[in-house]
Chains A and B, each alone.
Chain A
């Protein structure tokens, strides 16, 4: 604070003080020397007498500072009284600032939580994430940066560069503390996870190196502090208790330290499972001992750089080891059969390091761009609010011109008056900031609700912490200073002008500044408007295209029997039984089933080998699913050629029976063009050993599988007794109220097995909505920001225009008296507005051009430079602006020449 205030101190005063003290010092030294003292001794004595020059200087400065503060407090009181007298002005300013500051603070909170805040672990700055780029031949489970588990131990050997290396995989398990199980987020971790992160137990012990390698023989878990407190009641005897994880008993070995919430801000685990017990939690399709499997990717690997080691250095040092390891891998018995060319690319692939002080989160990837964009938008909104306040201050400054002139005349310095104006704006900005902070938690909660992930499963908070407070305070202060800057500048300059110019002149420097402000506002608003229009169009296109199936009266739910400890046979019986009974639930008219759920972001995907006229493998992956007969009919997807699956296809490829597949139109178009798709043989995988033995028996219309945005090539297989075990997603066509049906089905599942909860339960309309939550968030928020921006700048425009009309009343009167028409008076005023609008547009368009590439990835079926959208947004701006300008223009036409000339 002191530093900030010192900034205001004039250096002239400092210089004078130095001269004054120097004079004293030298006179005294001179006197002492003339009394016979040696020069050096004299200097020492004078220094002692004066108590050190620096000390004196500081004390005098304190005197100045006290005065400054006293005066500033006086100014603040003066401002406060003034504001109470002008409630409309005050409310307008405080509200616009609160809006800007509240929105910016809320977005900053999310930006901070999602990708600025470091993990609350020891020295998070040295954490790095390992990633594999290039031809990653191995398949796997999980998403983003997944690597084989044994690499973790290999990397640990690189002790010169890393203090430690650990790996982890995030997944969902069914967790039961009593009779009823529910889905819970969990992390499978290596023994080095807790030691490398530096996390300590709150109770009992954590997973350690001793748990490593005990495949299947170490059924322990560590629970989070929050889980212990909330769901285990904070009991002191939890260590040693048993939990049911995916239907298997596991013993609680300890509780992790309070405040540690895993390394993924988007998915906070309730428990940690040692990698030795991975098979308890991973899907059954995974190999038995994944911790030794070199050709299956399923963990993220992170490390801690040794002190002083640079990331690039470590990355370069890993190169020889990595290349050697890949070469070794190709000699493995289970190394995929691939072409020589692919093998070359495989061997040329690289290990890359990236800083990971925030841990690893899928949310980082999906949210970074949208959040920065929205943060930028709020920044623009704040700038607009700031400009508006500056404009209002300018207007008020002029209406207070007389007061300011009087104070000048009474000898107030320019700095003194500028400080008064600064005090005004600081006070208002802080008031706006306080209101903004009060609003922020509400806004943050709203934002979190918009987020694609389930808010309950994330660590995102709406609480305002010290960090956020200081951000908002800083923003308020800067806003205040900026908004006060223009009027202060004007006060400094205007004084001389004002005293010399006669009243009723046609607007001087102040008007020019205000016109500049309005032009800037129009430019900023147009940028936001165009952004909003682009996102709205993207969302509109996505909604118009739809998911490719009927969402009305469709309800979906999933079960995962394996996670409830079911064996393969038991799972088959359970699902078959459920399928039978579902038809009997009142209100269910038809049902279908798929192994993988639609529109939840994931899919089973793989390159395909196709045997048509020739044999070839697909370039990209096809998205695969196993579905029951009638699944397509329930969705309302059309069979455009061939047939749907039938009951007889269900038997898992018996000796004589032909295995069958259905492909979608996109697949047929891309890979089977120019031949009859029916009868073509396909196989999963791209290896040279893949046997294409599924015969295409049908072509189905396109439906969206992974997400609403993605048009993908798809291949469907019939569900078989093998696939049941992977879980099942049921799609039910219902008559009447879906709620009643949901209740009935829930009851049915509970009766079948209370320990097997449905993994989700929602209507397809909800599912589509969830799938589009990011697009919806962008469209809604940017539209909201754009409307606010439009309002702010129209208020600014209106203010300037009406002020200009009052200023020019006399001029207009004279012109009319000389025979000008009312129309020309209107035109004179409108022309003024048009110049500002045109200048604003001219400034904005190059920005739109430049910013386009940053938003392109979030758009759908529309380019960032789409002329139609830009034109429409510009039109909206122009018509709104014209509306705001027409009122003052009409006032101009209503000027009575006689009245105006008599006026003064």
Chain B
């Protein structure tokens, strides 16, 4: 149901990718599939925009890439989190938590009136 899914907020895609990669290294298609599953088909990710994000993360040194055989036997480019990436993920998780709780607080106040 595309209409019931909302587009992913700007900037959160990078964070989600880091989160997925924190579990285990994966290739682009694997990440896309996991994104679908994790977000329970609520968040709509344009699969195309995944790749600029991956390369951006690679430029920043948060992930590193390696070509290796995939589960189908074909070579695929696998991305893995670096130490810097792990740190970044922690930082983002924290600030995300802060942000959501702050937003929640505002909504709660508004509702109690």
Contacts and interface: CB of A to CB of B under 8 A. Distances in A.
Interface string B33-55: 00000000000001111011001
Nearest to B57: A63
Interface of B: 27-29, 32, 46-49, 51-52, 55-56, 59, 70, 72, 74-77
A50 interface: yes
B27 A23 contact: yes
A23 B74 contact: yes
Contacts of B56: 63
Contacts of A550: none
6 contacts: A17-B51, A19-B75, A20-B51, A20-B77, A24-B51, A27-B29
A56 B28 CA distance: 13
Most buried by B among A16, A24, A64: A24
Contacts of A50: 46-48
Interface string A19-38: 11101100110000000000
A63 B59 CA distance: 8
A51 B46 contact: yes
Given A62-B52, A63-B52, A67-B59, A23 B46 contact: no
B66 to A, nearest CB: 11
Given A60-B52, A63-B52, A63-B55, A20 B46 contact: no
Interface in A34-93: 49-53, 55-56, 59-60, 62-64, 67
A60 B65 CA distance: 15
A355 to B, nearest CB: 51
B51 A60 contact: yes
Given A16-B77, A50-B46, A23 B28 contact: yes
B28 A20 contact: yes
Contacts of A64: 55, 59
A23 B78 CA distance: 11
A59 B28 contact: no
A28 B55 contact: no
Main secondary structure of the interface of B (DSSP, over half): helix
A27 B75 CA distance: 12
Contact of B77 (A23, A52, A59, A67): A23
A651 to B, nearest CB: 99
A28 B48 CA distance: 12
Contact of B48 (A17, A51, A62): A51
Contacts, number: 62
B93 to A, nearest CB: 24
B97 to A, nearest CB: 28
Nearest to A56: B48
Contact of B29 (A28, A52, A63): A28
Nearest to B71: A27
Given A24-B29, A60-B55, A63-B59, A51 B77 contact: no
Task: Name which of B47, B49, B72 has the most chain A CB atoms within 10 A of its CB.
Answer: B47
Nearest to B28: A24
B72 A24 contact: no
Contacts of A49: 46-48
A63 B32 CA distance: 20
A377 to B, nearest CB: 48
Contacts of A67: 59
Contacts of A59: 48-49, 51-52
A55 B77 contact: no
A27 B72 contact: yes
Contacts of B70: 23
Contacts of B51: 17, 20-21, 24, 56, 59-60
B64 to A, nearest CB: 13
A215 B75 CA distance: 91
Give 3 nearest A-B pairs by CB, closest first. Answer: A51-B48, A50-B48, A56-B48
Interface string A438-452: 000000000000000
Interface in A220-275: none
A17 B49 CA distance: 14
B48 A55 contact: yes
Given A20-B76, A23-B74, 5 more contacts: A23-B76, A24-B27, A50-B47, A50-B48, A63-B55
A98 to B, nearest CB: 37
Contacts of A63: 52, 55-56, 59
A53 to B, nearest CB: 8
A56 B50 CA distance: 9
Contacts of B28: 20-21, 23-24
Contacts of A51: 46-49
B29 A19 contact: no
B29 A23 contact: yes
Nearest to B52: A59
Nearest to A66: B59
A51 B47 CA distance: 7
B50 to A, nearest CB: 8
A67 B72 CA distance: 33
A641 to B, nearest CB: 95
Nearest to B32: A24
Contacts of A17: 51
Contacts of A60: 51-52, 55
Nearest to A71: B59
Nearest to B56: A63
B111 to A, nearest CB: 38
Contacts of A28: 29, 32, 47
B49 to A, nearest CB: 7
A50 B51 CA distance: 10
Nearest to A64: B55
A236 B31 CA distance: 76
Contacts of A16: 77
Contacts of A21: 28, 51
A595 B21 CA distance: 99
Contacts of A24: 27-29, 32, 47, 51
A52 B32 CA distance: 16
B45 to A, nearest CB: 9
A52 B51 CA distance: 12
A20 B58 CA distance: 14
A49 B55 CA distance: 19
A64 to B, nearest CB: 7
A52 B55 CA distance: 17
Contacts of A20: 27-28, 51, 76-77
Interface string A488-524: 0000000000000000000000000000000000000
A784 B48 CA distance: 62
A51 B52 CA distance: 12
A19 B48 contact: no
Nearest to B59: A67
A49 B72 CA distance: 22
Nearest to B45: A49
Interface string A771-801: 0000000000000000000000000000000
B29 to A, nearest CB: 4
A59 B29 CA distance: 18
A52 B48 contact: yes
B17 to A, nearest CB: 14
Contacts of A23: 27-29, 70, 74-77
Nearest to A24: B29
Nearest to A30: B72
Contacts of A19: 75, 77
A46 B77 CA distance: 19
Nearest to A53: B48
Contacts of B29: 23-24, 27-28
B1 to A, nearest CB: 15
A63 B55 CA distance: 7
A67 B52 CA distance: 12
A23 B59 CA distance: 21
A20 B54 CA distance: 11
B44 to A, nearest CB: 10
A154 to B, nearest CB: 69
Contacts of B72: 27
B41 to A, nearest CB: 13
Nearest to B72: A27
Contacts of B52: 56, 59-60, 62-63
